Structures are given as C-alpha cells and as structure tokens.
Structure 1
Amino acid sequence: MTKYHSDDYIKFLHSICPDNMSEYSKQMQRFNVGEDCPVFDGLFEFCQLSTGGSVASAVKLNKQQTDIAVNWAGGLHHAKKSEASGFCYINDIILAILELLKYHQRVLYFDIDIHHGHGVEEAFYTTDQVMTVSFHKYGEYFPGTGDLLDIGAGKGKYYAVNYPPHDGIDDDSYEAIFKPVMFKVMEMFQPSAVVLQCGSDSLSGDRLGCFNLTIKGHAKCVEFVKSFNLPMLMLGGGGYTIHNVAQCWT
C-alpha cells in the first residue's frame, strides 16, 4: 500500500478502530476519516482484501496467466495519497496500475462510475504513461472535479480526458459519446493494458445517481473495450441500489 500511499496514513488505518477513535481525533481530521469514510471493525482488513485483489489481478495479467481479471471489491477511485474520500480508503486502482506499469509501457484507465475518479486522475496527472478517461456527472456533485477542460499537466498534458454527460442520459446517447471517444483514445494512445472501473451508480434508479443507463447499456461499454483484445482489469466501484449492483456485476 505504501507504494503509493504515505507511511503515516497506512499506519493510521492499521491502528484505528471504533474502540480507540477518541485517541485519534486529530489524525481523523487530517486524513479525512469520519463522515463519509467512517471507522468500522475490520477496516484495515477490508483495505487489504480490496487492494490485494486488484494488485494480484494485475500480477496475473503481467504474467499472461489470464486475459481478463476481475475484482468487484476494488475500484475505490476517490482515495488519495494521504486522505480517504467518498467511501474510499486505499486506492487499489492506482496500486494495480503501478503494478501493470512494470510490464506495460502505456496503461489506459477508464471510468464509467457516475462520480469522477479524481484520486486516480490526480495520481497520474503529470505522466504520459497512463491515460485517464472518465465519464461522470460534473457540477454541484461529489467530488466536484473533472471539468471538460482538465486535460493533464506537464508530460501528462492531453493524457486526462473528462466527459461530463447530462443528467438522465440513456443508453443510446451514452453509446454515441462513449464509442467514438474510446476509439480515438485507443488509436492515439495505443495502450498495451486497460483498467476499467465499472461503477454501477451510473445505472437508472441508483439512489445517488442521475443517469438513465440500463445494465445492457453499461455492459455495451465493457464489450466495446473488450473488442480491442488487450489485457483488461475490471473493477467495481460505486453503486447504492443493491439489486442494480448485484445484477450489473453478475
């Protein structure tokens, strides 16, 4: 975990539990733990399992032991280097991408969660080895990042792509945007591995969402990327209507 996250943040997550929270009040504020990232029994073990699944999947892909690896417990795209955010504590996606970069010169990350994957984008904002592509709601909506004009910086300029669709977007409209954007990204970036965050909160009826995608429309995005026949890591993410999540990821 410390290959990306700070030592003191990981030590804090390892140490804190519901019984000793009062001893860590300053650190909780510093690391943004509380409110939407609560302390619970087994917090660190959860982080280990979620992150371990994504990193182990990346290792399998690197060793060519599989073409597609899946970890629905991963996809926690909001966590930052020393800060929890949006129900996310450890950014398993970043750690998995760093593992993939040991064998792959260019890795593409794309995100169809309704929330912007700001933690992942921030980590790779100044590199040309990772391109981040996110389709999300933008504006007065968590996390408030991911403007169309946010395109990366330094070496990473033009290697961040943000596309905020309108509220209520349906399958046909989403596909009409997604396919040409992703085709051009594939053509220009030419990645040798792909990481996909499959947040299901972009589906119609999600308690926190406002898009109108069906499971079929969501799956079409995955199928399109799969058609490029690149090693692919599929991860979970958001989803706040339980039956939507279960059906989508099944």
Structure 2
Amino acid sequence: MLEDTAVGSKGEVVYVADPKLLSCSDAIPAFRQRACLTHALITSYGLHHKMRVVPSEAANEEDIRKFHSQDYVEFLQKDVPEEDEDKDAQDEFGLGFDCPFLDNLWGLVCGLVGGSLTAARELTSGRSKIALNWCGGWHHAQRDMASGFCYVNDIVLAVLHLRSAFPKVLYIDLDVHHGDGVENAYLFSPKVVTLSLHQREIGFYPTTGAVEDIGLGKGKFYTLNVPYKEGINDTQFIYLFESILYPLCEVFMPDAVVCQCGADALSQDPLGGGNLTLKAYTTCVTHVTNLSKPTLFLGGGGYNKSNTAKLWTAITATVLKCPVSTEIPEHQFFHWYGPDFELEVTAGLQKSSNTQESLDQTIKAVHGNIQKLAESLEQK
C-alpha cells in the first residue's frame, strides 16, 4: 500500500502533465494512448498528490530555433494537405515511415518541447529539485530533421535552458537505442557530458554509439558511450551503470542532471532487445537521485505501452520514495494490465549475449575515456 514517505515537501518533486501535453504525445502513431495510460496509472496510485502537478506551457518558434534549423522549422510550420505533400521535402527533413506528416504538426512540436522546457524552468527557478515529464525524451531528432519517431529534440532544448543556471550538465540516456540526436548536438561542447547506455548490434537502430566515439574539438572526451549486446539482464545493466556513473561524477561533477528513461530495454518490448525488469531502471534512478543535483527525468522509447506505463509509474514512486502496491488499482485502463494486473515486468527466458568479460572490457574502455576527460579538465 501507499506510504506517506514522499521526499521532503511536496514542492521538491514537480510533475508536468495536462490534457494538451498528453494529447500531443499520444498523437504520434507509435505511441497512441501511452501518455494517457501512464498518467492514469500514476494517478490511480495517488502519486500525483505527493507531487506538485504543473501544466505545460507550449514552446514558441524562438524556443525551437535555439537548436533546430530555420529550414526545418519552416517545414514543420507548413500545413500541407496529404494530396499536395512535397515528397522530396519530406524525405529531406526525415518525414516518412517512422515520422509521418501529421495534422497540426507544428502545434504538436511546440507542445512536446513545452513540456520539457516547463520542467526545466521549475529546476532553474529553484522551485523544485526534481522534475518529471514522461511526455518528453525525444532523443533521436537532429537539428535539421526528424528521426526515429522523434520530430523535435526537447532534450537538447531543455539542456540549453538548464545551462542558463547550471553551467555543467550531465545527460544520461537509459533507452535501449543510442541517444544520437543529443550526442550530436553536444559533440563539441565541454559543458555537457552525454552518457548513453544502449544496445549496439549490426543493423540495430541507429547503429551509432561505439565506445570509441568520445566527442570532437573542445568536446573531446565529453561524450561517453556504453554499448552492450542483446539480452542484457538486470544484474548486468546495473553493474555497467554503477561502474561508470560514480567515477564519471567524481571527475565531471555536474551542476544538474537530465536522465532519459526510455522503457524499450524492458523485457517484452517489440522494438528492443533487452531483458530488463523495472528493478534495473529504478536502481539506476536511485543512484541518479543520490547525486543530489537538480534532476530532470524524461520518457523516451517504449513500445509495449502497458509495460512503459508501469515503468514510469515505478520510477515516479522511486523518486518520491513512496512504495506502492504491486496490485494495480482499478481505474479507467485497468483492463490493459491483465491477466495478472500487477505492477511488475518479468524477465524472459532470453539468454544474454553479454558476458562478464565483454562487460568488463566495455567498462575498462569507458574508464579510460573518463581518465582522459580528467586529464583534459586538469589542463584547463
């Protein structure tokens, strides 16, 4: 059952949610109903009473142009009827199979960015220590094109805003897919460290994120990639995360943290290849909150919608230090959680392709990159 043990005062954790924001997230075909499922499950447990719920304020053109190119912004603003769509232009800007042209696309983009900017403002103002926006986390969008179900990169824009108050930001990506859009945005930046844990196999989207990719120019050594193989389990994932997070933070010492919690490394995700349960994520989230820095938690991938809702509800409870029953309360979407109706995601029988040796080799390589980062910082 719920226990009244939320972190500090109610204002310390802010939860960004409102009908318009949920509608924007649910408008993307691959994620229809996911945002509403998540919000309904969080409220069914009464967790919204433990947080300050803040409505999102939509972004404007000026906000979005702080990262995205003028040509791409102008394309997104076009209201193009289906029969008159410019196929060449759509191809140029990444609109196609995974990112179809949608009605009111510009309004959707402004809404999605607005959710994460609203959350970021809560942190920079000092009103909150932790902000949650499960409608954010679109980490594949590039400066001038959509990619991987992501039309706009709310993460890059949120980090930009955070840097107005927090000089050094650590970005952590737990999605099964490499956080390529965020990495590319900050490839040359010595103020943002991007740390991505992701599956990397031949042909597995987006195929980037090798451990040797460490940033460029002034941003060299500020990019850290932690690739793993198919079938990773809780023990292996937690081992990777714990082995890297704390050594990194001893060197970089961030002023704020952004953590993308894509749920597609969970067991049973149709587009992932991981075999994680909720425990892997909630353990990592606990380590992130233990850093005691202003922190923004975002959503991301997650194609088994009910499991994704379970995960983000479990993370919300973890952040609040508010244990919840494994029995899902009856609510509007209760039927989605049959036949067991429990807040658990069980691991499958899939054997992990990762070995202790392969994990240790990756950790050794990443530690070497962290050491180079330390040497770089000492020279400044």
Shorter-normalised TM range: over 0.9
| 1:197 matched to 2:260 | yes
Partner SS state of residue 200, structure 1: coil
Letter in 2 for 1:68: I
Structure 1 equivalent of residue 122 of structure 2: 60
Structure 2 equivalent of residue 126 of structure 1: 188
Structure 2 equivalent of residue 111 of structure 1: 173
Deviations 1:148-168 (A, max 9, x none): 100111111111110111211
| 1:168 matched to 2:228 | no
Structure 2 equivalent of residue 221 of structure 1: 284
Structure 1 equivalent of residue 60 of structure 2: none
| 1:15 matched to 2:98 | no
Structure 1 equivalent of residue 275 of structure 2: 212
Partner SS state of residue 15, structure 1: coil
Distance apart, 1:43 and its partner CA: 2.3
Match of 1:135 among 166, 177, 197: 197
Deviations 1:192-211 (A, max 9, x none): 00000000001111011111
Distance apart, 1:20 and its partner CA: 4.1
Partner SS state of residue 178, structure 1: helix
Structure 2 equivalent of residue 147 of structure 1: 210
2: distance between equivalents of 1:3 and 1:21?
32
Q: Superposed, which structure 2 residues align to 1:89-108 within 5 Å?
A: 89-108=151-170
Letter in 2 for 1:150: D
Deviations 1:198-225 (A, max 9, x none): 0000111101111111012111111111
| 1:188 matched to 2:251 | yes
1: distance between equivalents of 2:308 and 2:85?
36
**Which sections of structure 1, spanning at least 5 residues, go unmatched?**
none
Of the two, which has the highest radius of gyration?
Answer: 2
Q: Superposed, which structure 2 residues align to 1:35-74 within 5 Å?
A: 35-74=97-136
Task: Decide which moves more: 23-32 or 50-59.
Answer: 23-32
Partner SS state of residue 202, structure 1: coil
1: distance between equivalents of 2:83 and 2:307?
34
2: distance between equivalents of 1:45 and 1:213?
35
Q: Quote the RMSD (CA, aligned, Å).
A: 1.1
Change (3 A) 1:21 1:47: farther
Match of 1:178 among 223, 241, 252: 241
Distance apart, 1:186 and its partner CA: 0.9
**Which sections of structure 2, spanning at least 5 residues, go unmatched?**
1-63, 314-380
1: distance between equivalents of 2:83 and 2:297?
34
